[in-house]
Amino acid sequence: MTTSVKVAVIYYSATGFSAEIAKEIAQAAEKAGAEVRLRKAAELAPEAAVASNEAWAAHAAASAGVPVATVDDVAWADAVIFGTPTRFGNVSSQLKQFIDTLGGLWAQGGLANKVYSGFVTTATAHGGQESTLLALYNSIHHFGGLIVSPGYTDPVKFIDGNPYGTSHVDAQGDNPINDETRDAARHQAERVVQVAAALHTGLAA
Ligand SMILES: Cc1cc2nc3c(=O)[nH]c(=O)nc-3n(C[C@H](O)[C@H](O)[C@H](O)COP(=O)(O)O)c2cc1C
């Protein structure tokens, strides 16, 4: 479709659900023709806290090879797709801390005129999916960014049912990322690449 769009997929994940969606989105964006950087937000929790939770420790080990997100990844990108597990209806502190490192780039105007989108995972239905994405999107307004939410722009959105971004209910860890969530993730990635490509071309004209 396009070869010039750069997409950064930047997420935090403790137990791997958000990481799995991040991978699906990264692969779909690449398939849609984008150059992709898949990056994780740095862990802030003490090692003892991570070690005390089997799923958290296992995912930390499994994802050790994923590069940690830097400000340059955002500066580089035409589109940034952020992902996070909910934390009491809000963005995880790890992803928020990364966003807070973007102040210098923001001051230079380096966050404006990019496409942004988000995805979320929760343990329960209605566990804060929409509030988390809306909280994430608050920051995008301050960036001067362009939020590209999936809306109901494809039949898959009437199945996963979240117009704000791909979302998944992990059912306390018992519900692996399924086809419904993967379909929504792929659609979101393709839409972001398509809009970012149009914006990129338009801004360069
Ligand atoms: C401190 C904390 C707060 C959480 N708050 C909520 C919540 O309000 N609602 C909910 O459904 N899940 C909540 N969760 C669960 C996680 O958001 C959920 O299991 C998520 O899918 C994990 O994603 P991950 O595997 O990418 O870390 C919370 C988890 C933690 C550790």
Domain that holds residue 167: 6-204
**Ligand 1: residue whose CA is nearest its atom 4:** 87
Strand partners, 40: 11, 68
Asked whether residue 18 is domain-assigned, the answer is: yes
Q: Report pLDDT digits (tens) over 148-190.
A: 999 999 999 999 999 999 999 999 999 999 999 999 999 999 9
- What value does the CA radius of gyration of the chain take, rounded to a whole number of Å? 16
**Inter-CA distances, 8 with 40, 126, 159, 196, Å:** 10, 28, 26, 12
**Contact predicate 193/35, CB 8 Å:** no
Measured in whole angstroms, the distance separating CA 188 from the mean position of its chain's CA atoms is 10
Residue corresponding to tokens 């952020």: 82
Domain membership flag for residue 172:
yes
Residue nearest to atom 8 of ligand 1 (CA): 88
For the segment 20-25, the average pLDDT, to the nearest whole number, is 98
**Percent of the chain residues past pLDDT 70, beyond the cut:** 99
Residue 49 belongs to a domain: yes
SS3 80: strand
What count of other Cβ atoms lies within 10 Å of the Cβ of residue 57? 16
pTM: 0.98
Q: 18: Cβ below 6 Å to ligand 1? A: yes
* Cα–Cα nearest to 198, from 29, 80, 79: 79
Q: Is the CB of 56 under 6 A from ligand 1?
A: no
Please give the distance of CA 47 from its chain centroid, rounded to a whole number.
24
The pLDDT assigned to 40 comes to 99
Q: Answer whether residue 41 is part of any domain.
A: yes
Is residue 87 situated within a structural domain?
yes
- In the predicted structure, residue 1 carries a pLDDT above the cut 50: no
Q: What is the whole-number distance in angstroms between the Cα of residue 35 and the centre of ligand 1?
A: 30
Mean pLDDT over 111-136 rounds to 98
17 within ligand 1 shell (Cβ under 6 A): yes
Distance of CA 5 from the midpoint of ligand 1 (Å): 32
**Which DSSP helix (H) or strand (E) runs through 36?**
strand 35-40
Tally of structural domains, the chain: 1
Question: Is 171 contained in some domain?
Answer: yes
Predicted local confidence at residue 4, as pLDDT: 82
pLDDT of residue 3 exceeding 80, the answer is: no
3-state secondary structure of 86: strand
188 CA distance to ligand 1 middle (Å): 22
Res 69: pLDDT: 99
Per-residue pLDDT, 2: 43
User: Is residue 1 a part of any domain in this protein?
Assistant: no
- Cα(33) to centroid of ligand 1, in Å? 32
The CATH number of whichever domain residue 82 belongs to comes to 3.40.50.360
Q: What is the mean pLDDT of the chain?
A: 97
Model pLDDT for residues 62-98, shown as the tens digit of each residue = 999 999 999 999 999 999 999 999 999 999 999 999 9
* 113 Cα to the center of ligand 1, angstroms: 31
For the Cβ of 52 lying below 6 angstroms from any atom of ligand 1, the answer is no
User: Measured in Å, how far apart are the chain's first and last C-alpha atoms?
Assistant: 19
> Would you say residue 191 lies in a domain?
yes
